[in-house]
Amino acid sequence: MTDWKNVTDAIDEYVASLGERSVLPGLSRDEVRALVASFDFARPMTENDAIARVLEGLRGGQVHTPHPRYFGLFNPATTMTSVAADALVAAFNPQLATHNHAPFAVECEAHLVRAFGERFGYSKDDADGTFACGGAEANHTAIAVAIARAFPEVAERGLRALDADPVIYVSGEAHHSLEKGARAAGLGTKAVRRVAVDRSLRMRMPALKEAIAKDRAARLRPFLVVATCGTTSAGAIDPLSEIADVAAKEKLWMHVDAAWGGFAALVPGLRDAVRGIERSDSITFDAHKSLSVPMGAGMFLTRHKGALSQAFGVHADYMPKDQSRDPYASSLQWSRRFIGLKVLLPLSVLGWEGIEQTLARFVALGARLKEKLSANGFVLKNDTPLPIACFVDGAREDGASGKYLDSAARDLAKNARAWISMTRIGPNGERVLRACITSFHTTESDVDALVDGLVAARARI
Ligand SMILES: Cc1ncc(COP(=O)(O)O)c(C=O)c1O
């Protein structure tokens, strides 16, 4: 019998002790390898022994993303309600390929898709979508759907059905999954135009229009523009309304990659920042980036019913004839777990209002972070209402060099138990430190400790 108490006690202990831990992995690479090698499948061990080794590995063998001082990539701390949801899904194991196999789960996801579509400004009657394992899959889905809409002949004959190459437009700061998606869709990465950005790292409209005109003159076939709402490095939000105008005029599918930044649509004070998203044809939104749920909760949303089945509907004798409500016919996946439950359960308990409160707190902590950085001689290099700061050290001559920034991030992890990353932004790939609020365990004093830690690092380096 599985000793569940042992498991839940370990989870409780992990969460309770998070703040006292180092944010970095405690085990060295060699220790991790030795621990993994101790799983000798020729010599079965007891379940408690195996779980104890797994716990040792999880405690010591990862960057602790739920840590209150993890100011890193978009990896949140998870609420226990969402963890419970994932455990229930694993135990009941509904198969979401078809409606008739798991009507409750399929209807829950459809309910969520409509609810989120509405929050982004789609009408309840139009909103459609599918859950995905993450933003990369959702972006790939967007490319597949946009191809199916623009070039229906490709479904059977592939890209050779076209007399000219299709083209996609994304900002210079867009996520790399769009290039991967273009590659996987058979378009190749050369089909992706990286449009120049302005000083705020937002797609430049004149550059977009010029690129489209140039491609049309070369008899290429522009079909998709992807706006990013919250870029990975700097949280920049492309000018969504203006991109919607261009997309309408040029008859392009407009996709918004709002994998992280889409949460702004759920915070009244930020809604202006994402105005225009409601005019998009489709949206990527990852609940696992901003809504404090476990990974693997991506969403592709669209306001065009039937668009997904145009891309993914297929027929085989062993599949149900009526595919209209079957997830497999509107998704890249066939067998699929009940992804939506880890979103539905916490949302049902907290309500939009509860979610909004947490997100508004993230935004307030982000504002405090930016203020404190500026007050302490750091120079902000990004411009976004979202809780993410890109900066260099203005109090040091070498404060923008990669070597210095790297040393600062390392010093911070060692001495202040805080994790931040280094990234590059803008057309010249300027190096910056990047700190983002992602954990609901983070408090004002953690933000202060981050800035104090950077100031202390400045003196040590
Ligand atoms: C803007 C953006 N889009 C897409 C993705 C990919 O999302 P996922 O990691 O869920 O596949 C990311 C990941 O950070 C992202 O920042």
The finding on whether 74 has its CB within 6 A of some atom of ligand 1 is: yes
Alpha helices per DSSP H over 193-334: 205-217, 240-250, 287-290, 307-312
**How far apart are the CA of 73 and the centre of ligand 1, in A?**
10
**How far apart are the CA of 175 and the centre of ligand 1, in A?**
7
**How far apart are the CA of 139 and the centre of ligand 1, in A?**
9
Burial tier of 304 (Cβ tally within 10 Å: 0-12, 13-18, 19+): middle
**Which residue carries 């996946």 as its tokens?**
333
What's this model's pTM, rounded to 2 decimal places?
A: 0.97
Q: Which residues fall within 8 angstroms of residue 253, CB to CB, at 6 or more apart?
A: 142, 145, 146, 149, 150, 223, 224, 225, 247, 281, 282
**How far apart are the CA of 34 and the centre of ligand 1, in A?**
32
Kindly list the distances between the CA atom of residue 415 and the CA atoms of 22, 24, 61, 254, 381, in Å, as whole numbers in the listed order.
Answer: 9, 11, 19, 45, 25
Ligand 1 atom nearest to 231, measured from its CA: 1
Q: Over pLDDT 70: what percentage of the chain?
A: 100
Query: Is 265:294 a contact under the CB 8 Å cutoff?
Result: no
- What span, in angstroms and rounded, lies between the C-alpha atoms of 88 and 67? 25
The finding on whether 232 has its CB within 6 A of some atom of ligand 1 is: yes
Q: Which stretches in the chain have pLDDT values below 50?
A: none
List, in sequence order, every residue forming a beta bridge with 224; answer none if it has no partner.
168, 253
- What span, in angstroms and rounded, lies between the C-alpha atoms of 339 and 299? 10
pLDDT of amino acid 325: 84
The finding on whether 136 has its CB within 6 A of some atom of ligand 1 is: yes
Half-sphere exposure of 40 (CA within 13 A, CB side): 4
Ligand 1 atom nearest to 135, measured from its CA: 7
**How far apart are the CA of 262 and the centre of ligand 1, in A?**
12
SS3 (DSSP) at 167: strand
- What span, in angstroms and rounded, lies between the C-alpha atoms of 17 and 358? 21
The finding on whether 286 has its CB within 6 A of some atom of ligand 1 is: yes
**How far apart are the CA of 132 and the centre of ligand 1, in A?**
12
pLDDT of amino acid 1: 84
pLDDT of amino acid 360: 98
The finding on whether 309 has its CB within 6 A of some atom of ligand 1 is: no
The finding on whether 298 has its CB within 6 A of some atom of ligand 1 is: yes
The finding on whether 290 has its CB within 6 A of some atom of ligand 1 is: no
